[in-house]
Structure 1
Amino acid sequence: MNEKKYLLFDLDGTLTDPKEGITKSFQYALQHYGIDEQDLDKLEVVIGPPLKDSFIEFYGFSIEKANEAAMKYRERFATLGKYENIIYDGIASMLQTLTSKGKELAIASSKPTIFVEEILEHFDIKEYFAHIIGSNEDGTRAEKTEVVIAAIEAFGEIDKADIIMIGDRKFDVIGAHDCDVEVIGVSYGYGGTEELANAGADYIVDTVQELEELLLNSR
């Protein structure tokens, strides 16, 4: 892998493990519609894609109903769910090292920007990111390709060959490739090696340590 200066990081499943907060908030929204899903493991599939897409794909909601359900989800997530989250071991020190080596970092997440910023502040890692790009509060710019485009534009006039995306789901791979940007898939998140490989990830790492070594020792 050629050395990359500009690093676009997904958040959920890449920097932090958000399972408890996301699945419980999704469960809360489903309960509003009389759907009782007790097994949070079954809701892991909703970690990564835009919320409304998950309500449509997995529960057959209409677009209008899915948008309403996403608002219901955020009722709980805004107060509880965003803090039911764990930063992966080694992430904070990796980010510090990358920035000290002259790398420029940005977040490219489908989560609303306001939540992304609050989570980064909660884990004391916001300072490492030059740009924080998420979806808009009205539900727009939720597709990964749109997010990646906005993150690239935030850096200004740069060569796409100097950029790489880091994420855990096929959506990260597809979104980055739509923008002609290479991708490192992290199998420790929620997509796993098979999903990332099938999506065409350019590189796959299994641990945070492997990720750091690849980003720092590239030639």
Structure 2
Amino acid sequence: MFVSNYAILFDLDGTLTDPKPGITRCIQFALSELGYRPPDADKLHWCIGPPIQDSFSLLLKTSDDTVLEQAISLYRSRFATIGLFENSLYPKISETLDAIRFAGYKTFVATSKPHIYATQIIEHFGLSSLFNGVYGSELDGTRSVKADLINHILVTENLSPSHVVMVGDHSHDMIGAKHNHVTAIGVTYGYGTEEELKSYGADLIAHTPDDIPKLLVHSYELRLSHSH
């Protein structure tokens, strides 16, 4: 199996790392500073993965850019120094990435999180050598929509959609993959349910990180059968 021209895109939050403490504490901090009583961390799970502006818009029930920019600014003031390291790798992630790289695949991070933070997190966990590149949004929100980000990676890296797999835990990852005609693997150990992932187009489901390499072989065989 010749896979050197195949690329695997990994979401970050809820797929490679569990960022719950950092993200929820930074949201609580921002809401408190704005004079709101923040929800408990367990009531903020749905904020892990989507663009942060969307989460604040729902939390504050507003689309007022001035208010949202203030909330994001407060969130980032804590996240940039403390929050991004209140984070842990899911078990077996390093070994999973090793196996995928050993098989000859290219690997990229594809996250709605600003790439300036994503790069620091990947370095912090010693994963930099296991990725060909780290892609995220800009601080102004450009490419925070997963479909735009995946398209940007395909163009920048000159990748054929039929040779790319997106791995993520959220409906946004599945929608972005389908929008770009990319195979989607949904992971259930993060913050999305199997039902949500399948309803938004997941082709395959991984229940643990070490399911992913096996599913890549399966997705390759699926593609071959579709092309004949």
The TM tier, using the shorter chain, reads over 0.9
What is the aligned partner in structure 2 of residue 84 from structure 1? 86
Q: Is the 8 A contact 1:107 1:151 kept in 2?
A: no
1:190-201 equivalence runs, <5 A = 190-201=191-202
Of residues 74, 77, 98, the one that matches 2:76 is: 74
1:138 to 137, 140, 150: 140
CA deviation map 1:37-91 (0-9, x unaligned)? 2510001110011011111123212241112211211100001100000101110
User: SS of 1:89's equivalent?
Assistant: coil
| Contact 2:154 2:160 survives alignment (8 Å) | no
Separation in 1, partners of 2:64, 2:7: 35
- Correspondence for 2:189: 188
Equivalences for residues 3-152 of structure 1 within 5 A: 5-64=6-65, 65-152=67-154
Aligned residue identity for 2:213: E
User: Does structure 1 retain, via aligned residues, the 8 Å contact 2:21–2:87?
Assistant: yes
Q: Is the 2:25–2:83 contact (alpha carbons within 8 Å) kept by the matching residues of 1?
A: yes
Give, in angstroms, the shift of residue 216 of structure 1: 4.4
* 1:121-161 deviation per Cα after TM superposition (whole angstroms, max 9, x unaligned): 010001111121100022222111111111212321x3211
CA distance in 1, matches of 2:133, 2:87: 21
The alpha-carbon deviation at position 211 of structure 1 amounts to: 1.4
Deviations 1:96-118 (A, max 9, x none): 12112210011110000010000
The one-letter code matched in structure 1 to 2:209 is: V
In the alignment, structure 1 segments of 5+ residues that lack a partner are none
Higher relative contact order (CA 8 A, sep 6+): 1
Question: Share of identical aligned residues, percent?
Answer: 40
- Corresponding residue for residue 170 of structure 1: 171
Are 2:207 and 1:206 equivalent residues in the alignment?
yes
Q: Which amino acid aligns with 1:7?
A: I
